Amino acid sequence: MTDGKRRVLVTGATRGLGLEIARAFAREGAAVALNGRDRDLLEAHAARLRDAGCSAAALVGDLVAEPEDIVRRTSDVLGGLDVVVHAASLRDRRPTEALDGAAFAALLDVNLTAAYRLARAALPLLQQSRAGRLIFVTSIAARIARAPDPAYTASKGGLEALTRSLAVEFGSDTLTVNAIAPGWFVTDPNRTMAEDPRVQAFVDVRIPLRRWGRPEELAPAALFLGSPAASFVNGITLTVDGGMSAQM
Ligand SMILES: NC(=O)c1ccc[n+]([C@@H]2O[C@H](COP(=O)([O-])OP(=O)(O)OC[C@H]3O[C@@H](n4cnc5c(N)ncnc54)[C@H](OP(=O)(O)O)[C@@H]3O)[C@@H](O)[C@H]2O)c1
């Protein structure tokens, strides 16, 4: 399936930003494994990409239960690994009073611990690539907080710090570790919010571009960080937010 193509694993590829990133890599000529838990959706997305002449496979698996196995099966299917984009995450906007320790830990299991376990399993494979690229999708919430959102905010802050730590430990001429921090993009968890006129009034004031991002506007950042061309970019978080976090 790979034929000298870049071999890419994208988590969170059943929908939203992960799906758009997977599609972008596939359209650029990579061989892409789309990971998530919803088999029907993943197989439909992969089949549609194959119908369009791309190389794509559904890679069903739960990131809390079996991240190491997801990496192993991806490498078996693709014959190695050049790029991992971890875009999967959980959202839980309950306030601190309603969010007990177990719920906090459950969110961190997906957003942070699974990222670490996935990376730990993938790094030895990425080290064998001529241009290995590990990319975490964090959030502007790693740096600017919106209440209530304690678990998600903490998880993304941790993921951004993990990006720097792994970049320092593993960065080399042939391997880099970076993050992408999206601002507000219209995807399933945000759709109701995006349709609320009161939220649009906030967007008009808080986002210099005065609008939500479209998922296809995030994918180019992943393509760049995932490319051999980004060989001297290591340990950064590339913010894609229409200027939201640049504004006072
Ligand atoms: N949308 C935004 O405005 C925004 C802003 C900042 C940051 N981000 C970040 O961008 C990334 C994508 O966001 P999104 O809005 O596109 O997300 P989304 O629509 O909520 O999709 C989440 C994805 O994560 C997967 N997932 C969740 N738990 C999993 C598990 N245990 N094992 C395997 N897969 C699992 C889901 O797959 P299944 O449904 O198949 O399980 C789904 O594909 C996330 O990291 C998010 O934090 C998004």
Going by the DSSP 8-state scheme, the letter that residue 241 receives in this structure is S
Q: How far apart are CA 167 and CA 24, in angstroms?
A: 24
How many CA atoms lie less than 13 Å away from 167 in the CB half-sphere?
A: 20
Cβ(18) – ligand 1 distance below 6 Å: yes
Q: Is 14 in the pocket of ligand 1 (CB under 6 A)?
A: yes
* Cα 11 to ligand 1 centre (Å): 8
Question: pLDDT for 191-223, tens place per residue?
Answer: 999 999 999 999 999 999 999 999 999 999 999
Between CA 161 and CA 119 the distance in angstroms is 14
Q: Which structure tokens are listed for 12?
A: 């969170």
Structure pTM? Answer: 0.98
Ligand 1 and 187: CB distance under 6 A: yes
For residue 60 and ligand 1, the question of a CB distance below 6 A is answered with no
How many Å apart are CA 80 and CA 6, to the nearest integer? 9
CB of residue 110 inside a 6 A radius of ligand 1: yes
From 25, 104, 136, 152, active-site residue: 152
Chain segment 112-138, per-residue pLDDT in tens: 999 999 999 999 999 999 999 999 999
Known catalytic membership, residue 116? no
Residue nearest to atom 43 of ligand 1 (CA): 12
Q: Please tell me the distance between residue 7's alpha carbon and the centre of ligand 1 in angstroms.
A: 21
Q: Render pLDDT for 27-76 as a digit per residue (tens, 0 to 9).
A: 999 999 999 999 999 999 999 999 999 999 999 999 999 999 999 999 99
Domain coordinates in residue numbering, the chain: 7-187+213-243
CA of 170 to the centre of ligand 1 (A): 26
Superfamily of domain 7-187+213-243: NAD(P)-binding Rossmann-like Domain (3.40.50.720)
